[in-house]
Amino acid sequence: MPDAEIKRLMKNLEEAINETLSESPRINESIRNIQEAGYEAFLIIEATIGFNRRDKAESEAVSAISRTVEPVRLRITSEDAKFLKSLKISVDVEG
């Protein structure tokens, strides 16, 4: 993948993270509460993102493994679900 392509993909990821955080009602409410308490609030988030190129054989092996592994069931609390929703990640909750 050319450098320009990976830079474009990284920029898209950066924009998606920034958009998700700026649209989070919980984050916005928390910042508003801090401001109402008389403080100026700002948020700095540092992320480390790494990329490794996989060769075709490795990619096919990972794909074959992912088709044979059974799904994992997670127990998600209501707080977990709220957090995931703030990141625009939907979860199917079984009763």
Per-residue pLDDT tens over the stretch 9-19: 888 888 888 88
Domain assignment of residue 94, yes or no: no
Domain assignment of residue 95, yes or no: no
SS3 30: helix
Domain assignment of residue 91, yes or no: no
Domain assignment of residue 92, yes or no: no
Domain range enclosing 56:
3-86
| pLDDT tens digits, 81-92 | 888 888 888 776
Beta strand spans in 38-92 (E): none
Instruction: Provide the domain count of the chain.
Output: 1
Average pLDDT over every residue of 14-28: 86
Residue type, 79: E
Q: Is the pTM of this model over 0.85?
A: no
Angle at the Cα of 85 from the Cα atoms of 80 and 91, rounded to 5 degrees: 70
Residue type, 54: R
